[in-house]
A and B are shown apart, each in its own frame.
Chain A
């Protein structure tokens, strides 16, 4: 037996993760990217919405990504946008994790009628186009905001509320698969000997759920969470592309892409206003997906692709 086999499951998963070069690089890349996006306000030579006469300047030493229709520095806007996109992706996926794990764990653990009912609800929500749900939620929120602005809320507060709405809305539409996965896992855990032993020893339901069921669900929940983050980032970009997400003058990668796409005309091609935001989004999603794949391979070896070459 090699030393690796003597480690705890977590230790082995960590070893597997570290040996995955693409996943490891993506993790470092994302860490650097988040750091850059977070620190950029302090480093930036231009404020994000400083309008100037230098409209549609191609990339240069002064403006690495060029400037947009209002002469704003595109690099600064892209980094600000990436910050919001990643924030919404992370928190939105977190919301979906909480709802999905709770819903799935309760349904799977209680079983019977309640399980049936809760899973039928998931079925119904699956068949409801998520865009309709999101639009209703966001317009309801905007309605509240309009009224509150009349009452003199500051712009800062209403921006935070809007962001909060996006978190909740995106979380609320992406928990369904998480709930299904967790429920299936809990269903099989419930009848395992160590759970029955705990029950025989007189442990209450809350204790069993908290101490025995949930720790065993963590692995698969993390795996699916890592796959949900890029999906939520993508959905937020889509919403902002539609003009429903982040409102100007703030920007997310999606609204920057929409802005770039609206500048396409046969006379003059401003390629940088669409290529840089799009490439940033693609790069971030690429790293998030690599990371998700690596985590899945590390934590869920049943579905892992074994590293040996083809036979």
Chain B
């Protein structure tokens, strides 16, 4: 418990460092936010724009100004999408990304955990090799391959699913599958590994010697420990999935926030990048904390340390 409290206390300074790093990093890239549009803008106009967003001040002062805004819950205004604040854009896109992310997370867990569990039980049989090959194959086809191929076959050729957009439940299927396949393979591999390791431990033999049924041994004793690697992977995975995927959102024209992470970095939309980085960092750190909590519940050995 004390350990967890320590972790919680460390969170705010860690986030402060991350925000500062992101703040400086985006400003290191050459070019400014007002370079691309209205290329022949006169120096006066550009100077006025820079002054309007306080970009002519020293970075240290800009950062203090940013922190002052942050205290009020204000991430600043987007430099690219005028008249929109960063919070506005995130508030609009986040629910979509959250939905898609949760669905893909459920997809990869729902497919990966049983596949890995089954693969570990059928050791040394062709079924084991079949499952192993399938899961490995899944890890070798990234979403930017699965997505276009699925679209080509199921949407364009056979018209089973709509090609793009984010409207009905039917629109959800292809993006979820394209995003989830890779991670399902990863989860399955972790699960299999964990299961194989666990089944070699002595307490499994004890459980069998007690006369427990094989189902009880596997589901009540082995599964609980074997799932630990998957649980520790699920923290970063969820943080990744919930903040949206550029490839999928771009391919299916889904209005999430994943596209902004890439596009804002490219267009030097400084406040937008810093806001998204902070969002990701907060999610990741909190989820990792929850993962650590889950260890305590799942693995009794951790509790005694």
- Whether the pair A289, B136 counts as a contact (CB closer than 8 A) is yes
Which residues A268-311 have CB closer than 8 A to chain B? 269, 271, 274-275, 278, 281-283, 285-286, 289-290, 303, 305-310
Which residues A10-62 have CB closer than 8 A to chain B? none
- Whether the pair B157, A127 counts as a contact (CB closer than 8 A) is no
Does A196 sit within 8 A of B, measured CB to CB?
no
- Whether the pair B197, A303 counts as a contact (CB closer than 8 A) is yes
Q: Select from chain A the residue with minimum beta-carbon distance to B143.
A: A238
Q: Select from chain B the residue with minimum beta-carbon distance to A144.
A: B30
- Whether the pair B124, A310 counts as a contact (CB closer than 8 A) is yes
Given A124-B21, A238-B142, A258-B144, A140-B123 contact (CB < 8 Å): no
Does A114 sit within 8 A of B, measured CB to CB?
no
B247 contact from A241, A286, A310, Cβ within 8 A: A241
Q: Select from chain B the residue with minimum beta-carbon distance to A284.
A: B140
Question: In the assembled complex, how far is the CB of residue A241 from the closest CB belonging to chain B, in whole angstroms?
Answer: 5
- Whether the pair A274, B148 counts as a contact (CB closer than 8 A) is yes
Does A107 sit within 8 A of B, measured CB to CB?
no
CB-defined contacts of A281 to chain B, threshold 8 Å:
140, 145
- Whether the pair A266, B145 counts as a contact (CB closer than 8 A) is no
Question: In the assembled complex, how far is the CB of residue B276 from the closest CB belonging to chain A, in whole angstroms?
Answer: 8
Which one of A76-84, A90-98, A130-138, A161-169 is at the interface? A130-138
- Whether the pair B156, A264 counts as a contact (CB closer than 8 A) is yes
CB-defined contacts of B246 to chain A, threshold 8 Å:
131, 242
CB-defined contacts of A133 to chain B, threshold 8 Å:
25
CB-defined contacts of A275 to chain B, threshold 8 Å:
149
Chain B contact residue count (CB 8 A cutoff): 51
- Whether the pair B29, A136 counts as a contact (CB closer than 8 A) is yes
Given A133-B25, A143-B31, A128-B18 contact (CB < 8 Å): yes
Given A278-B141, A281-B145, A310-B14 contact (CB < 8 Å): no
Question: In the assembled complex, how far is the CB of residue B11 from the closest CB belonging to chain A, in whole angstroms?
Answer: 10
CB-defined contacts of B193 to chain A, threshold 8 Å:
303, 305
- Whether the pair A285, B140 counts as a contact (CB closer than 8 A) is yes
- Whether the pair A274, B149 counts as a contact (CB closer than 8 A) is yes
| 10 A-B pairs closest in CB distance | A143-B30, A309-B124, A285-B140, A261-B148, A310-B123, A135-B265, A127-B281, A278-B145, A282-B140, A136-B29
Provide a sorted-by-A list of 27 A–B residue pairs whose CB atoms are within 8 angstroms: A124-B21, A127-B281, A128-B277, A129-B243, A129-B277, A132-B265, A136-B25, A139-B30, A144-B30, A230-B140, A238-B144, A238-B247, A241-B247, A242-B246, A242-B262, A261-B144, A261-B251, A264-B148, A269-B157, A274-B149, A275-B149, A285-B140, A286-B136, A286-B140, A289-B140, A305-B196, A308-B124
- Besides A129-B243, A132-B277, A242-B262, 10 other A-B contacts (C-beta < 8 A): A129-B276, A131-B261, A234-B142, A238-B144, A242-B246, A286-B136, A289-B139, A289-B140, A290-B136, A305-B196
Interface positions of B (Cβ within 8 A of A):
14, 17-18, 21-22, 25-26, 28-31, 121-125, 136-137, 139-142, 144-145, 147-149, 151-152, 156-157, 163, 193, 196-197, 200, 243, 246-247, 251, 261-262, 265-266, 273, 276-277, 280-281, 284-285
